[in-house]
Structure 1
Amino acid sequence: MHTKTWMILLIAALTLAVACESEIDGKAAAEVAEPTAEEAAPAQEEAAPAEEAKEVRELAFNTEASKIEWVGAKVTGDHTGGFQKWEGVGHVSGDATLEKVAFTVDTTSITSDDERLTGHLMSEDFFAVEKYPTATFESTKIEEGAEGDATHTVTGTMTMLEATKQITFPVTVKVENGTMVVDSEFTIKRFDFGIEYKGKADDLIRDEVLMKLHMELPLSAEAVAAEPAEEGSEG
């Protein structure tokens, strides 16, 4: 009986471990901090001449070819979704060097793999889209080098609901067929941004949410008319 009991417990433990596996596991975590005074303040007009000296171009992301997706996890499994409406720009200098990115997401356009969940995500428990219809991000620094397979590290200010935070995360930047392609996967903690709904007692929701970004920035008018760049990674 003793051996049989231990076997049952072992099988139960292994089953639970498999059930708890998530796409979120093992992904890079964004560093989150309070924004510096400089980041929290509105951008100053004096910054413009410096950008002009570097011949920086402001270009619009091709939102039709780009994706902003997310993965959330509960005890019983993952849910996936994204945002259908957003707009953004990238500042590019010289020989296709990414200097800055900024984008605004329409939170009312959130989608998920479950219609009932989508409605819940729009409610006060999560994004409260009637009160906070947009979320924004603006980079303050983009540096070459990052952990893992990423090529760059992006730091910037993210505002969602009533929270404004500095976040730092890895990205991969490459140029294909006249289009700059920016890919990234990283986790953020929703509690940091005031989304604190915990879920049901027997099916709790994890704090971490995986963000999956695939953004295409055409570097010329010809690139806009061309086919979307082939994605180098899943997302």
Structure 2
Amino acid sequence: MKKLIALVLAAGFSTAALAAPETYVIDDSHTFARFSYTHLGFSTQESRFDKTKGKITIDRAAKTGSTEITIDTKSVNTGNDTFNSHIKGADFFDVEKFPTITFKSTKFNFSGDSLASVDGNLTIKGITKPVNLKVTSFKCQPHPMAKKDACGANATATIKRSEFNAGKYAPNVSDDVTLTMSVEAIKE
């Protein structure tokens, strides 16, 4: 009987060890926040931010997690220096007053064993709104070059820029903005 109790306890401890949360640090050289919108109905404009930092904590066995991501608004890259200066101004990102955009998760949502979406709070220009990032891909595995475990994901959401006090020229320049996050993170 003692052997059976010891075996059950050992199995319980080994299951608990498998369900431990793991923390990953965002790899800034492979993580980009992008945004796109329609310009006067002529075309879809796409831009990105070149500096992003943060952490992801995930417990895949328990199907829980959290993330905090900080985007440097001064790193906005439209592909045009003149437009970069324009979009950094008070009508849009107001980077001198608001040097960062943040996303803080409130819940990871799984479909089976796959991460399906992340609920959280997005803060732009000091205004915080709930956002659901739909995860279009998610993968964790050993990183062949870093020789550590890594996770990567792509996620997307649509927001109204006017809700963040950045609605100049709407609706001619669309109020709806698609946000896309491509994230790679290395285990701590």
Confirm or deny that 1:216 pairs with 2:184. yes
User: Alignment partner of 1:64: what SS?
Assistant: helix
**Comparing 179-188 and 118-127, the one that deviates more:** 179-188
> What whole-Å deviation, never above 9, does each CA across 1:124-150 have from its counterpart, x for those lacking one?
11000011111111101001139xxx8
User: Alignment partner of 2:97: what SS?
Assistant: coil
Q: Which amino acid aligns with 1:138?
A: K
- Pairwise mapping of residues 179-218 of structure 1 onto structure 2 (< 5 A)? 179-198=150-169, 204-218=172-186
The structure in which a higher percent of residues are strand is 2
Give the Cα–Cα distance (whole angstroms) in 1 for the partners of residues 130 and 175 of structure 2. Answer: 18
2:23·2:187 contact (CA, 8 Å) conserved in 1?
no
Tell me the C-alpha RMSD between the 2 structures: 2.5
Structure 2: 5+ residue stretches without partners = 1-18, 143-148
Confirm or deny that 1:152 pairs with 2:123. no
Structure 1: 5+ residue stretches without partners = 1-53, 221-235
Match among 21, 28, 31 for residue 66 of structure 1: 31
TM-score scaled to structure 2, two decimals?
0.76
Give the Cα–Cα distance (whole angstroms) in 1 for the partners of residues 125 and 141 of structure 2. Answer: 35
Q: Which amino acid aligns with 2:156?
A: E
> What whole-Å deviation, never above 9, does each CA across 1:40-90 have from its counterpart, x for those lacking one?
xxxxxxxxxxxxxx6323321111122211212112222221111121100
User: Alignment partner of 1:192: what SS?
Assistant: helix
Give the Cα–Cα distance (whole angstroms) in 2 for the partners of residues 132 and 189 of structure 1. Answer: 18
Residue 46 of structure 1 corresponds to none
Give the Cα–Cα distance (whole angstroms) in 2 for the partners of residues 116 and 68 of structure 1. Answer: 20
- Pairwise mapping of residues 123-142 of structure 1 onto structure 2 (< 5 A)? 123-142=89-108
Aligned CA distance change for structure 1 residues 191 and 182 (closer, same or farther; 3 Å): same
Match among 56, 59, 70 for residue 21 of structure 2: 56
Q: Which stretches of structure 1, 4 residues or more, deviate above 6 A after TM superposition? A: none
Alignment length (residue pairs): 162
| Percentage of identical aligned residues | 23
1:162·1:194 contact (CA, 8 Å) conserved in 2?
no
